[in-house]
């Protein structure tokens, strides 16, 4: 008995350290995952075969295959054709654009991984905001939220559902069918979208898009960083937006002070010497304000000139996507630095701003935005790379569009085959990948890069930890401890607690890690209560995807953080009510569809 207790202590210690490393990101996620397997093997809690068993887990293979299928659909333009449709149907109609975008994102995210969908739609939203004259900040967070909501409607909508289904089958219970979750997922998603449609315009900021200048027919405007010099007439000004527009014809977008970012439209700020203003204006207006010496060119812009000689130059914002090979790499080690025609102006990382001279040690993270100036012809080079996404880019044609129908046909066969039981979901998905690579809808080089190895390794590592928890009896100990808070109550309050706990954990950990770690506890809890574990299994699916209150719990939330110019509080104000709505509806509807 003592040996078992000691092993439970070891597993609990490993779990605590794992949670600490995942939350703090002291080391990368993949290193944490490998560390879990190494420690469990060295301590003898798991055999080597058990420790690496996740590599052969059908859920891991299926999730990896779905990443590849999603990338194939994006690459061929099978999803990208909506760009032209949206531009055609929503011109000058903000409401119609809003509805069309959210509906299209929901339909796409129900069947393919939502991260590439959001990456695709960020430029679409930014472009439509320029054409339809609305604030992209009103739409980008709802874009992410809708993609998460829709992912709970099908088995393949999110990797979490696939993992829960497979772990449920391994525990001796029925796996989830393709559209089983849609019984309550669809009404929850619809109610969530209605809530977002009416509430988000009121709660979210009305921040304008900094750059809307890729259309060659538009008059050139320039983005510049201008510093407030000593004795400037702007010092002490508390309404810089109105003053700069009236006096100089410039739009002030942001104010940078000591590396921090302030939005003057939301925060009243008194201008001080050495403040840096991110402004947009015509060449004439910028030259005029520089001549008056009211403002001066900021760091890194000594050679920047404005006027007809640079009419083909553009200022563009580049966002770092999840699949970028440059994550955690220094910005100055990238191809952008090596190209003499491309000028790096600044980088925005979360709520911090770094001017050119202060980016020597800045390492790139998901959602970082790099402001660069480059010739128009250089855009094609940036587009060919998967390391950056041009935020304002909605005008170029996606490659291999002629294979779009073929890619859609292959993906449809995967969905139909899994739905009607022709083969297991894993077999259907890897068959789809094989056919896409065979027909050149997806190149093997692209396939390897789109695997999202960090996500897969995290799943594998946490599966090993989950096995250790069950093997040592830690799961039962945790389940009994959890049940102690619900003594004398029925299964329904316990289900609410499981969903709530899953939602809290997914804001701290990833949704996949939450599902892997809590599912054994949920099943053990149901067994202890003497009820069917199925409602608790479903509850994990919805709780682990209810991640709306912070930007850090879900990749898509982080992706829209920079382009939308959001604060942490924006997610909380809109996301917390949505979180409560999803938890409430799931708690009410799950026992109706899947009785205890």
Instruction: Look up the CATH number of the domain holding residue 235.
Output: 3.30.70.1450
In this prediction, residue 309 carries a pLDDT of 44
Q: Is residue 512 part of a domain?
A: no
Q: Do 161 and 246 sit in the same domain of this protein?
A: no
Residue 584 forms part of a structural domain: no
Domain count, the chain: 2
Residue among 299, 361, 365, 370 nearest 335 (CA): 370
Low-confidence residues of the chain, pLDDT below 70? Answer: 1-4, 78-88, 90-92, 127, 130-133, 207-223, 283-284, 298-315, 322-323, 332-333, 345-346, 349-361, 384, 392-402, 446, 449-450
Tell me: do 130 and 262 sit in the same domain. no
Residues 384 and 405 in one domain: no
Burial string for 413-436 (b: 16+ CB within 10 Å, else e) reads ebbebbeeeeebbbbbbbbbbebb
Specify whether 197 is located in the same domain as 230.
no
Examine the domain organization and report whether 362 and 241 are in the same domain.
yes
Which residue reads 């989950």 in tokens?
Answer: 466
Kindly state whether residue 338 falls inside one of the protein's structural domains: yes
Q: 393-416: per-residue pLDDT in tens? A: 544 444 455 677 888 889 889 888
Asked whether residue 234 falls in the same domain as residue 383, the answer is: yes
Whether 474 maps to a domain, the answer reads no
Q: What is the pLDDT of residue 13?
A: 92
In a domain, 581, yes or no: no
Element (H, E) at 582: helix 568-593
Check residue 558 and give its pLDDT.
77
- Does the residue 505 lie in any domain? no
Residues 381 and 408 grouped into a single domain: no
Same domain for 348 and 372, yes or no, is yes
- Using CA of residue 439, residue 441, residue 447, residue 451, what is the dihedral sign? negative
Q: Is 243 helix (H, G, I), strand (E, B) or coil?
A: helix
Asked whether 544 and 506 are in contact (CB, 8 A), the reply is: yes
Question: Does residue 311 share a domain with residue 247?
Answer: yes
pLDDT value of residue 394: 46
Distances (CA, A) of 197 to 85, 98, 157, 478, 483: 21, 8, 22, 40, 38
Answer yes or no: do 255 and 350 share one domain: yes
Give residue 63's Cα distance to chain centre. Answer: 17
Same domain, 235 and 364: yes
Look at residue 300 in the predicted model and tell me its pLDDT: 47
User: Structure tokens of 136?
Assistant: 């992209």
Q: Taking CA 378 as the corner, what is the angle to CA 389 and CA 372, rounded to the nearest 5 degrees?
A: 60
Residues 6+ apart with CB under 8 A from 239: 268
Residues in CB range of 418: below 8 A, 6 or more apart = 155, 156, 178, 424, 425, 428, 429
| Three-state secondary structure call for residue 364 | coil
Where is the domain boundary, 339, 369, 390?
Answer: 390
User: Quick one: how far is CA 147 from the chain centroid?
Assistant: 10
Return the exposure string of 209-236: e unless at least 16 CB atoms fall within 10 Å of the residue's CB, then b.
bbbbbbeeeeebbbbbbbbbeeebebee
Asked whether residue 461 is assigned to any structural domain, the reply reads: no
Can you tell me the distance from the alpha carbon of 78 to that of 409, in angstroms, rounded to the nearest whole number?
A: 10
Q: Residues with Cβ < 8 Å from 318, sequence gap 6 or more?
A: 336, 369, 370, 371, 372, 382, 388, 389, 390, 391
Which pLDDT belongs to residue 85?
66
Mean pLDDT score of the chain? 80
Say what the pLDDT of residue 2 is: 44
Shared domain check, 425 and 325: no
284: domain range? 222-390
Assigned domain for 175 exists: yes
């Amino acid at each position: 008995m003592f040996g078992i207790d000691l092993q439970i202590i070891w597993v609990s210690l490993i779990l605590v350290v794992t949670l600490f490393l995942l939350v703090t990101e002291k080391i990368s996620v993949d290193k944490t995952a490998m560390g879990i397997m190494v420690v469990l093997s060295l301590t003898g809690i798991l055999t080597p075969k058990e420790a690496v068993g996740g590599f052969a887990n059908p859920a891991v293979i299926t999730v990896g295959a779905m990443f590849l299928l999603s990338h194939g659909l994006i690459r061929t333009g099978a999803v990208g054709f909506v760009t032209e449709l949206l531009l055609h149907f929503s011109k000058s109609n903000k409401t119609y654009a809003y509805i069309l975008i959210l509906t299209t994102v929901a339909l796409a995210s129900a069947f393919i991984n939502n991260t590439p969908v959001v990456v695709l739609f960020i430029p679409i939203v930014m472009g439509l905001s320029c054409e339809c004259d609305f604030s992209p900040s009103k739409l980008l967070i709802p874009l992410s939220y809708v993609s998460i909501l829709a992912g709970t409607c099908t088995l393949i909508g999110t990797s979490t559902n696939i993992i829960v289904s497979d772990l449920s089958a391994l525990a001796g219970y029925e796996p989830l069918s393709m559209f089983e979750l849609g019984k309550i997922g669809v009404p929850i998603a619809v109610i969530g979208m209605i809530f977002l449609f009416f509430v988000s315009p009121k709660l979210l900021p009305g921040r304008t898009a900094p750059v809307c200048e890729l259309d060659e027919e538009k008059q050139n405007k320039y983005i510049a960083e201008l510093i407030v010099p000593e004795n400037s007439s702007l010092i002490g000004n508390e309404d810089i937006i109105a003053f700069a527009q009236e006096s100089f014809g410039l739009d002030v977008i942001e104010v940078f002070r000591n590396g921090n970012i302030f939005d003057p439209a939301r925060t009243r700020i008194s201008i001080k010497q050495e403040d840096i203003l991110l402004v947009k204006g015509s060449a004439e207006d910028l030259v005029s304000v520089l001549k008056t010496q009211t403002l001066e060119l900021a760091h890194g812009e000594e050679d920047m000139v404005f006027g007809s000689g640079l009419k083909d130059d553009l200022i563009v914002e580049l966002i770092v996507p999840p699949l970028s090979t440059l994550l955690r790499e220094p910005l100055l080690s990238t191809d952008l630095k090596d190209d003499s025609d491309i000028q790096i102006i600044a980088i925005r990382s979360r709520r911090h701003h770094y001017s050119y001279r202060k980016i020597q040690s800045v390492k790139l993270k998901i959602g970082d935005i790099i402001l660069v100036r480059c010739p128009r012809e250089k855009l094609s080079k940036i587009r060919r790379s998967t390391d950056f996404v041009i935020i304002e880019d909605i005008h170029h044609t996606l490659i291999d569009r002629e294979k779009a129908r073929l890619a859609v046909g292959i993906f449809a066969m995967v969905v139909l085959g899994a739905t009607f039981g022709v083969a297991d979901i894993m077999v259907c998905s890897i068959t789809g990948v094989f056919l896409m690579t065979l027909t050149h809808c997806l190149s093997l080089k692209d396939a390897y890069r789109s695997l999202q190895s960090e996500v897969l390794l995290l799943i594998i590592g946490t599966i090993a930890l989950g096995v250790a928890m069950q093997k040592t009896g830690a799961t039962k100990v945790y389940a009994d401890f959890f049940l102690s808070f619900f003594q004398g109550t029925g299964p329904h309050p316990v289900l609410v607690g499981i969903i709530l706990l899953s939602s809290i954990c997914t804001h701290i950990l990833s949704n996949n890690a939450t599902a892997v770690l809590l599912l054994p506890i949920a099943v053990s809890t149901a067994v202890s209560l003497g009820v069917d574990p199925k409602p608790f299994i479903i509850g994990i699916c919805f709780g682990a995807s209810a991640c709306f209150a912070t930007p850090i719990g879900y990749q898509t939330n982080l992706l829209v953080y920079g382009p939308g110019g959001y604060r942490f509080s924006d997610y909380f104000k809109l996301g917390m009510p949505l979180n409560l709505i999803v938890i409430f509806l799931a708690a009410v509807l799950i026992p109706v569809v899947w009785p205890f």
